[in-house]
Structures are given as C-alpha cells and as structure tokens.
C-alpha cells in the first residue's frame, strides 16, 4: 500500500510539475509580453505615423470621440451614449465580428454591438472576476505588485524544475535497483 501511494504521489507530482512549469512560464510571459517580449514585425508604417499618433492623443485629451458608425447607430437604442464610452474593441467572438463597447459606469458594463449597429447584449463581469483578474496580473486598486508575482513565479519555476529532476533521479534509481535484483 505504501509503495502504491508513493508511486501515485511521484507520477501525479511529475504531471502536475510539468503543468505548473508551463503555467508559470506562460503567466510570466503574458504579464510582460509588451514590456519584455513583444517585438512587432512591422510590414508597413505610414511616414506620418508619429504625427498621426500625436494628433489622436491630442484629440483624445480634448475629449474628442471617434467611434465606429455601428456604435454610433447603437446609441439610438438609448441604452448608452457616446459620452458613456470608455473604449471600443472590435473582435471575432465565435459567431462573427462584434464591437465590445466598454462603458463608464459603476458596473463596468460592456455593450456587444453588431456590425449593423444592433445591441446584441449588455453585460458586466462580477466584481470577484475583476478582482481575480487584477490579482493574477498583479495590480489591485492601483497598487502594482507585479514584481512580487514575478519573484514568486521564478521561485515556482525553480522549485518545479528541481522537483522534476529529483523525480527522474528517483525513477532512475528504482530502475537500477530492479535490474540489480533481476540479475541476482
């Protein structure tokens, strides 16, 4: 019975160790992809790129809102106004392309708008989901503790790698012992 428990612990530990290693490395990458790793392969850049960017920033600071036509049409539903909009994302979501309109309200509501300007749905994520996301990324209520997550992640990676190495050494030693008993 003891040997079975040790084997279960060893093999489950190996599988979980590899999984933890994968999640730690990918989590570290996702937290810092734009700072450390993100290198764009730019195929074309407008010669006036800096001016265009500066103009967009100035217009945003002046309160100018440039929203897609479909989102403008959606405001006629009286569910939100252009002044309520924080940001607009355009993305493919399973059934087609939609505009995700993030609103400035206490719930953090998101309006899903079709390309024709129809509001498909309004929703907001529960506070616990937002808090968990912030905790995972290392910024809660404006307090940035990403460095703590990074140090912990590096520790988990080291601990996991050494655990995997030790597990393989145990398996190798077991194989040696089995061979020794077979030859005797």
Res 12: pLDDT: 86
Same domain, 90 and 151: no
Burial of 98 (0-12, 13-18, 19+ CB in 10 A): buried
Instruction: Name, in order, each residue with C-beta under 8 angstroms of 121's C-beta and a sequence gap of 6 or more.
Output: 111, 112
Highest averaged pLDDT of the listed ranges 41-45, 55-59, 62-66, 121-125: 121-125
Same domain, 69 and 134: no
Does position 39 have pLDDT exceeding 70, yes or no?
no
Structural domain harbouring 148: 1-38+126-183
Q: Domain containing 78 — which CATH number?
A: 3.10.450
Does position 79 have pLDDT exceeding 90, yes or no?
yes
Residue 17 and residue 167 in contact, taking contact as beta carbons nearer than 8 Å:
yes
Does position 48 have pLDDT exceeding 90, yes or no?
no
Same domain, 135 and 175: yes
Residue 120 and residue 79 in contact, taking contact as beta carbons nearer than 8 Å:
no
Token digits of residue 65: 């809102």
Overall number of domains in the chain: 2
Same domain, 101 and 148: no
Same domain, 134 and 175: yes
Res 131: pLDDT: 81
Question: Residue 134: which H helix or E strand, with range?
Answer: helix 127-137
Same domain, 120 and 48: yes
Res 99: pLDDT: 92
Does position 38 have pLDDT exceeding 80, yes or no?
no
Q: Average pLDDT of the chain?
A: 84
Name the pLDDT band for 52 (thresholds 50, 70, 90): confident
Res 170: pLDDT: 87
Question: CA 162, CA 139: separation in Å to the nearest integer?
Answer: 30
Same domain, 97 and 148: no
- Overall pTM > 0.75: no
Same domain, 130 and 120: no
| Backbone phi, psi, residue 167, to 5° | -65, -45
Q: Write out pLDDT tens, residues 125-170.
A: 888 777 887 887 778 888 888 888 888 888 888 888 888 888 888 8
- Least confident window among 32-41, 98-107, 152-161: 32-41
Q: Which of 109, 124, 139 is the last residue of a domain?
A: 124
Same domain, 70 and 120: yes
Same domain, 64 and 33: no
Q: Which of 124, 153, 175 is the last residue of a domain?
A: 124
Same domain, 80 and 46: yes
Instruction: Name, in order, each residue with C-beta under 8 angstroms of 86's C-beta and a sequence gap of 6 or more.
Output: 102, 103, 104
Same domain, 52 and 110: yes
Does position 14 have pLDDT exceeding 80, yes or no?
yes
């Amino acid at each position: 019975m003891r040997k079975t428990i040790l084997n279960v612990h060893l093999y489950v530990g190996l599988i979980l160790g590899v999984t933890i290693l994968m999640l730690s490395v990918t989590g570290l990458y996702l937290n810092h992809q734009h700072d450390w790793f993100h290198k764009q392969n730019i195929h074309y850049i407008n010669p006036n790129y800096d001016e265009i960017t500066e103009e967009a920033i100035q217009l945003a600071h002046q309160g100018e809102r440039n929203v897609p036509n479909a989102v403008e049409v959606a405001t006629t539903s009286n569910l939100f106004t252009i002044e309520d909009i924080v940001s607009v994302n355009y993305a493919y979501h399973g059934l087609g392309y939609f505009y995700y309109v993030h609103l400035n309200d206490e719930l953090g509501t998101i309006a899903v708008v079709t390309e024709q300007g129809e509001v498909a749905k309004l929703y907001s994520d529960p506070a616990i989901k937002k808090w968990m996301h912030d905790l995972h990324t290392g910024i809660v209520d404006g307090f940035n503790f990403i460095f703590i997550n990074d140090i912990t992640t590096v520790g988990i990676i080291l601990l996991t790698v050494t655990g995997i190495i030790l597990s393989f050494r145990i398996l190798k030693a077991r194989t040696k012992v089995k061979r020794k008993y077979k030859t005797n």
